[in-house]
Amino acid sequence: MVVVEDDLALCDNLCEALRGRGFAAVTASSVTETERLGPVTPFCALVDMRVPGGPAGEAMRRLAGRHPGLPTLVVTGYSDEPPLPHVARFAKPFDTGALLDAVEQEYRRRPGASA
């Protein structure tokens, strides 16, 4: 999956929690870095609404342009509404367990997944 978060400590914690549930993540900490993720095909994205390099929601827009239909979980410390459809929105500080449960739910929903 893709994790876009500019708070490096939070990003590390999220990636560790994801690994604990069996997921691998590629990360970006700015809008520009979302363009440099390489040839990945993520099953979902976890995106902070506000990261350096663009207006609120720009990282989300860039990922959607690159991966149309990518299920996205949004995290934010602000009242911004995400600019695109999303699976869930988590206000900071959020319940990490609930976020991980949402990731697992998206993993089970992906095409070809077994129940």
Element (H, E) at 115: none
Please report, for the domain that includes residue 36, its CATH number.
3.40.50.2300
The number of domains in the chain is: 1
Averaged pLDDT for residues 88-93 = 95
Q: At what angle do helices 8-20 and 96-109 cross, to 10 degrees?
A: 60
Structural domain containing residue 17: 2-107
**pLDDT(58) > 60:** yes
In a domain, residue 115? The reply is no
pLDDT in tens, 10-28: 999 999 999 999 999 999 9
Give the number of residues written for the chain.
Answer: 115
**pLDDT(87) > 90:** yes
DSSP line for 27-95: EESSHHHHTTS-S---S-EEEES--TTSSTTHHHHHHHHHSTT--EEEEESS-PPPSS--SEEEESS--
In a domain, residue 16? The reply is yes
Q: Which residue has the tokens 């739910």?
A: 105
Q: Which residue has the tokens 């390099």?
A: 53
**pLDDT(30) > 60:** yes
Averaged pLDDT for residues 87-106 = 96
Averaged pLDDT for residues 88-113 = 92
In a domain, residue 113? The reply is no
In a domain, residue 114? The reply is no
